[in-house]
Chains A and B, each alone.
Chain A
Amino acid sequence: MTLEIETGGVQLSTPILPASGTFGWGTELKNLVDYSALGAVVTKGISLHPRKGNPQPRLLEVPCGLINSIGLQNPGVDAFIQNYEKELSALSMPVIVNIFGESPQEYAEVATKLSNCHWVSGLEINLSCPNVHAGGLEFGSNITGVRDVIQAVRNSTNKPLWAKFSHSTHLFHLVEAALEAGSNAVVLLNTLPALAINIKSKQPVLGARRGGLSGPPLKYVALRDVFDVYSRFKCHIVGVGGIIKPEDAVEFILAGARAVEIGTGAMVHPELFIKCRNFMSEYLKNGSYESVENMVGLAHDDQHV
């Protein structure tokens, strides 16, 4: 019985990962998280140049969820490598670096710099970033944007690529474009677009006005997208969204994900990672499955033939 699974070109010792943006630069939580639970660490998003991020307030708790507008604050790829290389290369598990840019060229330049880092096992490509040359439309909102970014990154590195999407009614076409352009896996889903208004000030609550919703309600949207994308493409999927208890992680695997990322849930309860790993182990044992791979997509009728 093993929790090991190869996902999008990366060998994971467990299918339990942190979600980008909720696990810092990868080593901050060493005192609070049992790293043996993690199949990999996933960093916050890194760009070519440093970014201050958005003005306060950046967080708003809503019923069962959280709206955030951090604004992709990060030190830039050069400072990231310089400041965190030593600690990250000392980790025993793969390091997935989340990257973004304002143009396909910027994504490619970040990828090129990280390509030279032996301790980077793969790149997670955040496609929910505005394309400044296309009126701020997110790359991930249209086929051209997805194809341009993934192709540019693919031409810059041989490292495994995971393309991360938010929900879209065009998701099939976007996933197809990412896979054709050389993405090894897709990550479903990023936060959902969200907004809250203060009726006293008559203004949006968050400093940047718009934000992204995370937390338990996302699970059902993400599960549906994982289920549908798996059904259509049988591709490698990393499921993310709203995992707050160990059973949630199993649901994602049954829907077709080969690994899961846990964000807001583990930010609140850092012990959730090890609880998920232990529960997954028990679930495998109780079902007499030899590996997580045997569980992937079992919620689909055609898996039972």
Chain B
Amino acid sequence: MRDSPTHFQLTITGNEKVGDRFFLLSFENPGVSFRPGQFAMVAISGEPYPLLRRPFAVSRTPEGTLQILYRVVGTGTRLMSYWKKGRKVNVIFPLGNGFEKIQNACILVGGGSGVASMIALARELHSRGTPYLLCVGTKKSGELDPHSSVFQNPPLNVKFATEDGSFGFHGTVLDLAEQHIHSFTCAAVCGPPAMMTAFLERFPDVNAMFSLENHMGCGTGVCLGCAIETRNGMMRVCVDGPVFPGKILLPEHLK
């Protein structure tokens, strides 16, 4: 059962650097039930700048700690990277529709900051004993530390690809996924628009769910700032998604 979105003042228990620009933010668990793929709108400050909340995928460790894996990409995430243990943060969650319960072997494909949306799902499949493989793609080695608790708590079945070949598989995360995808009956994908578009083109017959990212004003369905055109009409990434079946997505509208 999913809980309704609620305001929380969550206390930070850790904000660990887990790569060149990646951080893993941990919170005390307020005892909320949520699905992998659901997200939180995090208030950066109580001040008018930065104004908007930021949307982040949320996962849970085996001990129940809530975690947000984020990459520093702008002012909001840069300020977050300075946050210290003990700080209280205003968060609205759980938001959006996550992944349905996956029963069959699933390959998880995360590119760049899109990896964050795959962690909760990987952890769930791991704990339920469902076969899975998490493919993580970055440009070069060091962007995301493979020994960090992101991948080690619990120890996930993960393979890495770097575009320059400096660590793991030499190539894109889709090149890596292609080598293994025949062993799986479904896929979960999150990454930059170009990567998701390429996935749709390279693996048109794979039963894939996509977790979309977009700039959001509200995260609650009221502003339509994140709405995109799909085969089923206009859809709001925040409340109609962020998880969508690949078959309803229009590649030209993922950009």
A and B are interacting partners: yes
A65 and B49 alpha carbons, distance in the complex (Å): 8
Would you call A21 and B234 a contact (CB within 8 A)? no
Count of A interface residues, CB-CB < 8 Å: 33
- How many A-B contacts if CB must be within 8 Å? 91
For A68, the chain B residues whose CB sits under 8 A away are 217, 223, 225
A71 to B253, CA, bound (A): 16
How far, in Å, is A71 (CB) from chain B's closest CB?
9
Interface set of B (CB-CB < 8 Å, partner A): 4-7, 43, 48-53, 90, 92, 214-218, 220-229, 234, 239, 253, 255
Determine the residue in chain A with the shortest Cβ distance to B218: A267
A128 within 8 A of B: no
Residue of B at shortest CB range from A63?
Answer: B49
Residues of B within 8 A of A267 (CB): 217-218, 222-223
The interface bits of chain A over 58-81 (1 if a CB of B lies within 8 angstroms of the residue's CB, else 0) are: 111101111010100100000000
| Minimal Cβ-Cβ distance residue in B for A31 | B4
The 13 listed contacts between A and B (C-beta, < 8 Å) are A29-B220, A29-B222, A31-B5, A32-B92, A52-B229, A58-B224, A64-B48, A70-B224, A215-B51, A264-B51, A267-B217, A268-B43, A268-B53
CB distance from A218 to the nearest CB of B (A): 11
Besides A31-B5, A70-B224, 4 other A-B contacts (C-beta < 8 A): A32-B220, A56-B228, A70-B227, A267-B218
CB neighbours of A268 from chain B (8 A): 43, 51-53, 218
The complex places the Cα of A65 from the Cα of B51 at a distance, in Å, of 6
On whether A59 and B51 interact (CB within 8 A), knowing A70-B223, A73-B224, the answer reads no
Cα A271 to Cα B91 in complex, Å, equals 12
Interface membership of A254, Cβ < 8 A = no
Min distance, Cβ B108 to any Cβ of chain A, angstroms: 25
Chain B CB within 8 A of A23 CB: yes
Q: How far is the CB of A201 from chain B (nearest CB, A)?
A: 12
Q: Mark A191-228, 1 if CB is under 8 A from B, else 0.
A: 00000000000000000000000011000000000000
Q: How far is it, in angstroms, between the C-alpha of A44 and the C-alpha of B224 when the chains are bound?
A: 10
List A contacts of B226 (CB < 8 A). 58-59
A57 touches B215 (CB 8 A): yes
When distances are taken between beta carbons in the complex, the residues of chain A under 8 Å from B49 are 63-64
B192 nearest CB across to chain A (Å): 14
